[in-house]
């Protein structure tokens, strides 16, 4: 079974034109705030295109116009849903403990390097 | 019988009665870990030795001192005649995707390797309040992204106790390996596409994905927020029922934890299956792949012994009085993986943008000059390839120009998968099923490195489990036999929303009726 699946998966590599071109991939990398060496980029782009070929099965599914979008499976009816919580201030018991996780802190503030910006006149 | 062969139920009973101390149980658990687990996963493991390849490697972090304090507290209460909880003295392992205060909570990722959680997950808090002794955090696929546990940044990754050259499955592979190897009778895992049930099947243990919303997700490091379900891993069904009864229920810290009353799962366990309607579906006896030449789907029957184990379970249940309903149509089953490739990636990308090297977790040690560069370097160095792949895919399919084609369509297909279940569980419908019986996985545990790296092939390990995640319904995998390759086979039961008690009832009846079958006498290789 695994062998057969391997064969199909390898064949998928060569099927159809790549949806995610090197240019589009670079755009996604920028949006995702990543940077890759060429070997990683090759692997990731290849796998993305393979996954998309599987995703294309969805295009052939006869989806009726009245089929609703399901953002979750279990219907969250009012009788099983907790009500909204009270809008009251519930302070963190120990903010210092939270701040202690930050790589750089000064006077209770998290420090970041310069944020690229443009000065307006 | 050694202490580590006792069930959680038996341990708690004996500890409560004062026949056994929690400290003794802890000693036995630590001795078992020392004997079979080998070195824990680390970021700089180097080459694996031949000895490494014979060990289980379930753990990332063993918290023996913390466990000792918990065990002593339980023993002190018993001695003082104070009440102790239903899990008194029971060793527990926790998948390292849950936060436990003041302990490393890594998600098996370099990006969280230095993160010490400032709070404890609700599920862990409830288990510990019931007397469970947390031994430590067990390994998983990085951020749960995988079906073999090999993608962990903490190597050696877990190996299958039945054959250490095989994967334990994933992503809760450390959980199921630790339970199969007798390191703990209980483990807390999570299931987003099958991540409890698939490794439970591979490791010959019981794994339950509860109904979405049955167990609070507070303190669970998020992957797919509409799919993630914390759930129990155990060696028998009664222990899973016991563990769920402690964890389940509403939580003011998770607005998706349903306010549905938690039944007494142990009370319904012995009710048997007489009169229950249990379905078999041909759509779960095959695996479906996209065809390459024609665009049509290729359907391949599952291996004979996996189908045979499922049919055998149906026969056993029929003899106990269940009514088996054959040819139940589940026509949208094969769309589970393609829809999951879209929905889970969108949710993963959204959840993983928070890791940026600023607030907590890994920050790059190389030079940077501005904020975006800090983000890029921290994320590039901190995340492994599988999280990166999911983030990139999630951004692509949810981009404004593609979201209607991909994301919206996948959510509609999800409705169709849900309606398959609603149709067959409908009490006024044609099938009126109480449960659906299926195989859990298309294969037994595959060899280490055989599938890893091929993200499409790896995902198909979840084809029979992922529909329940889309639908939100509960599912359980129980051991259903041993294949010719000496590896466990899992069978899966699926039930309507919040009907975990049916799964326990049927699973327990099957266990009782097959207690004397020869395969149940076989032990995992690391325990022989």
Contact criterion met (CB < 8 Å) for A110 and B358: yes
Of how many residues is chain A composed? 121
Distances (CA, A) of B433 to A8, B282, B421, B453, B493: 35, 15, 9, 39, 12
Distance of CA A115 to the CA centre of its chain: 24
DSSP string, B85-106: -TTTT-EEEEETTB--TTSB--
* Interface touch B342/A68, C-beta < 8 Å: no
Active site residue B149: no
Tell me which architecture the domain covering B3-272+474-527 has in CATH: Alpha-Beta Complex (3.90)
Q: Say what the alpha-carbon torsion angle B241, B244, B248, B253 is, to the nearest 10 degrees.
A: 180
Distance of CA B96 to the CA centre of its chain: 12
User: Hunting for tokens 């026949």 — which residue is that?
Assistant: B19
CA distance B114 to B66: 19
Whether the pLDDT of residue A37 is over 80: the answer is yes
CB contact (8 A) between residue A73 and residue B213: no
Q: Do residues B149 and B141 make contact, with C-beta atoms less than 8 angstroms apart?
A: yes
Residue B426: count of CB within 10 angstroms of its CB: 13
Which ranges of B93-157 does DSSP label H, i.e. alpha helix? Answer: 122-129
Q: What is the pLDDT of residues B62-116, one digit of tens each?
A: 999 999 999 999 999 999 999 999 999 999 999 999 999 999 999 999 999 999 9
Q: Is the dihedral of CA B331, A72, B99, B337 positive or negative?
A: positive
Residue from B69, B57, B45, B305 nearest B153 by CA: B45
Question: Rounded to whole angstroms, how far apart are CA atoms B156 and A72?
Answer: 35
Q: Do B497 and A74 touch (CB under 8 A)?
A: yes
| For range B510-524, the mean pLDDT | 98
Check if A108 contacts B (Cβ < 8 Å): no
Confidence check: pLDDT of B407 > 60: yes
Best B454, B463, B489 residue to mutate vs chain A (most A CBs within 10 Å): B454
Enter the ipTM: 0.91
CB contact under 8 A, B372 and A33: yes
Spell out which residues of chain A touch residue B371, defining contact as CB-CB under 8 Å: 112-116
Band of pLDDT at residue A14, cut at 50, 70 and 90: very low
Q: Residue B456: closest CA among chain A residues belongs to which residue? A: A51
**Overall average pLDDT of the A19-33 stretch:** 94
* Backbone phi and psi for residue A35, each to the nearest 5 degrees, phi listed first: -150, 140
Nearest to A58 among B212, B300, B335 (CB): B335
CA distance B319 to chain A (A): 32
Q: Where along chain B do its domains lie?
A: 3-272+474-527
Mind telling me how many Å the CA of B307 is from chain A's nearest CA? 13
C-alpha distance from B253 to closest chain A C-alpha (Å): 9
pLDDT tens for A67-87 read 999 999 999 899 999 988 889
The stretch B239-247 carries a mean pLDDT of 98
How high is the pLDDT of residue A93? 87
**pLDDT tens digits, residue range B154-195?**
999 999 999 999 999 999 999 999 999 999 999 999 999 999
Cα separation of the two ends of chain B: 14
Alpha carbon distance B95, B59 (integer Å): 9
Confidence (pLDDT) at A94: 87
pLDDT at site B454 = 87
List of chain B residues whose C-beta atoms are within 8 Å of the C-beta of residue A48: 389, 392-393, 396
What pLDDT is stored for residue B296 in this prediction? 72
């Amino acid at each position: 079974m695994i062998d057969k699946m391997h064969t199909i998966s390898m064949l998928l590599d060569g099927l159809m034109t790549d949806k995610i071109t090197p240019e589009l991939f670079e755009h996604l990398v920028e949006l995702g705030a990543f940077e890759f060496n060429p070997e990683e980029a090759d692997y990731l782009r290849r796998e993305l295109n393979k996954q998309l070929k599987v995703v294309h099965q969805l295009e052939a599914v006869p989806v009726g116009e009245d089929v609703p979008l399901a953002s979750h499976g279990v219907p969250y009816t009012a009788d099983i849903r907790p009500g909204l919580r009270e809008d009251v201030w519930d302070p963190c018991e120990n903010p210092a403990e939270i701040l202690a996780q930050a790589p750089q802190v000064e006077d209770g503030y998290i420090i970041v390097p310069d944020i690229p910006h443009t000065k307006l006149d | 019988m050694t202490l580590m062969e006792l069930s959680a139920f038996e341990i708690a009973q004996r500890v409560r009665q004062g026949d056994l101390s929690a400290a003794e149980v802890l000693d036995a658990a630590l001795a078992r870990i020392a004997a079979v687990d080998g070195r824990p996963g680390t970021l700089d493991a180097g080459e694996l030795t031949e000895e490494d390849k014979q060990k289980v490697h379930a753990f990332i972090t063993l918290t023996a001192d913390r466990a000792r304090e918990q065990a002593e507290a339980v023993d002190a209460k018993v001695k003082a005649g104070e009440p102790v909880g239903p899990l008194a003295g029971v060793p527990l392992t926790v998948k390292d995707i849950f936060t436990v205060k003041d302990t490393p909570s890594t998600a098996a990722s370099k990006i969280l390797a230095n993160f010490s959680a400032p709070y404890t997950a609700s599920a862990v808090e409830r288990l510990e309040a019931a007397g469970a002794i947390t031994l430590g955090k067990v390994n998983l696929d990085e951020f749960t992204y995988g079906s073999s546990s090999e993608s962990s940044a903490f190597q050696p990754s877990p190996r299958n106790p039945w054959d250490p050259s095989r994967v334990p499955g994933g992503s809760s592979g450390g959980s199921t390996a630790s339970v199969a190897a007798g390191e703990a009778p209980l483990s807390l895992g999570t299931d987003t596409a099958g991540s409890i049930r698939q490794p439970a099947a591979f490791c010959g243990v019981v794994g339950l994905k509860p109904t979405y919303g049955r167990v609070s997700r507070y303190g669970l490091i998020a992957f797919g927020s509409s799919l993630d379900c914390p759930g129990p891993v155990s060696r028998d069904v009664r222990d899973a029922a016991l563990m769920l009864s402690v964890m389940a229920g509403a939580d003011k810290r998770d607005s998706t934890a349903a306010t549905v009353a938690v039944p007494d799962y142990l009370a319904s366990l012995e009710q048997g299956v007489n009169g229950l309607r249990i379905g078999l579906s041909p759509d779960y006896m095959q695996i479906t792949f996209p065809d390459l030449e024609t665009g049509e789907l290729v359907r391949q029957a599952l291996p004979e012994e996996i189908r045979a184990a499922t049919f055998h379970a149906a026969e056993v249940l029929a003899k106990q009085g269940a009514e088996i309903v054959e040819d139940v149509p589940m026509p949208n089953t094969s769309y589970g993986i393609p829809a999951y490739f879209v929905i889970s990636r969108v949710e993963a990308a959204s959840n993983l943008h928070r890791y940026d090297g600023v607030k907590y977790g890994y920050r790059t040690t190389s030079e940077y000059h501005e904020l975006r560069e800090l983000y890029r370097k921290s994320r590039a160095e901190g995340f492994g390839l599988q999280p990166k792949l999911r983030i990139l895919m999630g951004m692509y399919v949810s981009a404004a120009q593609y979201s209607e084609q991909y994301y919206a369509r996948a959510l509609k297909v999800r409705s169709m998968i849900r309606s398959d279940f609603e149709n067959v569980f409908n009490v006024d419908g044609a099938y009126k099923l109480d449960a659906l019986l299926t195989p859990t996985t298309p294969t037994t545990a595959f060899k280490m490195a055989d599938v890893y790296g091929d993200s499409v092939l790896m995902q198909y390990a979840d084809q029979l489990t992922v529909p329940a995640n889309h639908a939100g319904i509960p599912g359980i995998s129980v051991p259903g036999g041993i294949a010719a390759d000496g590896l466990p086979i899992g069978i899966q039961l699926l039930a309507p929303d919040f009907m975990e008690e049916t799964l326990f009832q049927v699973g327990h009846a099957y266990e009782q009726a097959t207690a004397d079958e020869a395969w149940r006498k076989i032990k995992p290789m690391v325990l022989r």
